[in-house]
Amino acid sequence: MTTTLTGELLIGAQAKRGEGAAFQAIDAASNTPIAQPVFHGARQGDVERACELADDAFDAYRTLPAEQRAQFLDDCAARIEALGEPLIERAMAESGLPRARLEGERARTANQLRMFAMLVRSGDALDVRIEPALPERQPPRTDLRFWRIGVGPVAVFGASNFPLAFSVAGGDTASALAAGCPVVVKAHPAHPGTSELVGRAIQQAVAAAGLPEGVFSLLFDAGHEVGSALVQHPAIRAVGFTGSRAGGLALVKLAAARSEPIPVYAEMSSVNPNLLMPGALAARGETLARDYAASTTLGCGQFCTNPGLMLGLAGADFEAFATNAAREFSAAAAGVMLTPGILRAYEHGIGRLVEHPKVTTLARGAAAPGRAQAALLRVSASDLLADASLGEEVFGPSSVLVECADEAELRAVLRHIEGQLTITLHADAADGDLVRALLPLIERKAGRLLANGFPTGVEVCDAMVHGGPFPSTSDGRSTSVGTAAIERFLRPVCYQNLADGWLPDALRDANPLHVKRRFAGRPEVA
């Protein structure tokens, strides 16, 4: 399938040239504009139109039979795959990410949509509960039925670092659509062409399924006005965002200031501490150092789950690890970053650390013009405790090695760090007592705890948590990856004493949809 890019906004079934400021995509590797097409930002009226269409579409879309909603999600997946080579090529140019990574990301994006289609078919997320009437009880109890419905139209912000899996049809969009919520996407200006390609595929899927056009819209803006207007529009009932802390917090603030505040699920900032336990460090320090460097520099370090802090206990094994890791980081190639702005932010962040009197630069990778140079830095835990800014996220291929004088200092660092997406333990059987002692502390600080691996891979499944205490996310009770992500866009509703014929199908006595339900506190027997 060949799709010609036009740079237009996709508002419901329409494709419309925006009347806001024009901008072009940038080729990440060469930092030069990509000539075609010119994208035009949306204006207030476009935001309003997209949100109103979404609101109009909500009732019809949320009451769609599960199988139809599931087929629509499956069709979105198929249409994204059918975009073929042009999608990969455009995404490579706009993001600077390599082919294999983007092909993998495309597969993940499609499979994620299919996973949510399966969840919709299962009816599990509806969480249906029936408490039958107890007419003989004093006082009598009337019939009560519970399920979860979509919160309403959702605004989704594309992420710079996952042009497919966390963008136009990424995890936030897939989970919101699965929940029965129309979606208005604000494309990330770093990959507008990729966004348009995927957006047109979704727009076509909406039309092919005969859904109300407002189920999906896609807006462009190289600035922040469209995003602000979206979050403030009364029809929008929740927000999904992956990006910087400043960006996420700005959206949280806007959403809280509405006359009807709405939840913002912002996945923002994490340094993903890794802990070197003494047994593992002694047994396989060299391998760990190699894997550490590889994980830190993978994809030019542009993952939310990049291992930005590596903590260990002082001693000979720690020094050997530092030496080995420095050698590995020195060998790292210079990398293309997603955008010139991200490269500038990386260079600024590394510069601040390199110049800090308490920081030792253990290694820099290869340098090249317009490329990011990997960095391995070192601080003592006491200095980190005295200046928390040394532990702040620097998005890119760098990490800070932290020497803890003893276990007490390691615990102090864990107590003082901010909330994290992940914390990783490198530990052998001999480390069991220390691991068990640290786990309660670690559980309070992160959404995902790993052993003997690196946190950069995020499996899309039932058991994943990609979320964590503030500021790793704005809402630590949620995940943005995996089936549990759907909960962000659902709210419970109870029906009391309604005639059977007035109830939604999933709640009727005869259970015509064959949904799994709880009846009087137990799984219902069909």
Interaction residues for a copy of itself, span 136-195 (CB under 8 A) = 139, 141-142, 144-146, 149, 151-152
Binding mask 392-431 for a copy of itself (x = CB under 8 A): --------------------------xx-----x---x--
495 binds a copy of itself per the rule CB under 8 A: yes
Structure tokens given for 17: 């040239």
- Minimum separation from the CB atom of position 296 to a copy of itself (A): 18
Residues 168 and 81 sit within 8 Å (Cβ to Cβ)? no
**Closest approach of Cβ 407 to a copy of itself, in Å?**
17
Nearer to a copy of itself, 36 or 63 (CB): 63
- Asked whether position 234 contacts a copy of itself by CB under 8 A, the answer is no
Active site residue 76: no
Residues in contact with 232: Cβ distance below 8 Å, sequence separation at least 6, in sequence order? 254, 258
Q: Which is nearer to a copy of itself, 189 or 248 (CB)?
A: 248
Could you tell me the smallest distance in angstroms from the CB atom of residue 439 to a copy of itself?
Answer: 7
Catalytic residue among 94, 105, 196, 267: 267
Closer residue to a copy of itself (CB): 254 or 376:
254
Helix, strand counts (H, E) of the chain: 14, 23
Work out which of 266, 435, 486, 515 binds a copy of itself, going by CB under 8 A.
Answer: 435
304 is catalytic: yes
Binding residue count for a copy of itself, defined by CB under 8 A:
71
Q: Which of 181, 300, 304, 404 is catalytic?
A: 304
Burial class (CB in 10 A: 0-12, 13-18, 19+), 144: middle
- Going from the C-alpha of 182 to that of each of 6, 12, 68, 168, the distances in angstroms are 24, 10, 15, 13
Phi, psi of 153 (to 5 degrees): -55, 140
- Return the residues of window 447-476 that contact a copy of itself according to CB under 8 A: 447-453, 457, 459, 461-465, 467, 469-471, 474-476
- The residues pairing with 361 across neighbouring beta strands, listed in sequence order, are 377
Count how many residues are written for the chain: 526
Q: Give 331's DSSP letter.
A: T
In the complex, what is the shortest distance from the CB of residue 175 to a copy of itself, in angstroms, rounded to a whole number?
A: 14
Among positions 72-131, residues that touch a copy of itself (CB under 8 A) are 129-131
Minimum CB–partner distance for residue 414 and a copy of itself (Å): 13
Nearest residue (CB) to a copy of itself, 97 versus 151: 151
Q: Are 17 and 40 in contact (CB under 8 A)?
A: yes
Residue 235's region, left for phi above 0, alpha for psi from -120 to 50, else beta, is alpha
Per CB under 8 A, contacts with a copy of itself among 507-526 are: 518, 521
Smallest separation, CB 431 to a copy of itself (Å) = 9
Q: Which of 357, 440, 512, 526 touches a copy of itself by CB under 8 A?
A: 440
DSSP per position, 101-169? HHHHHHHHHHHHHHHHHHHHHHTGGG-EEEE--BTTSSS-B--EEEEEEE-S-EEEE--SS-TTTTSTT
Q: 6 or 452: whose CB is closer to a copy of itself?
A: 452
Distance of CA 320 to the CA centre of its chain: 36
**How far, in Å, CA of 430 to CA of 450, rounded?**
17
Known catalytic residues are 267, 304
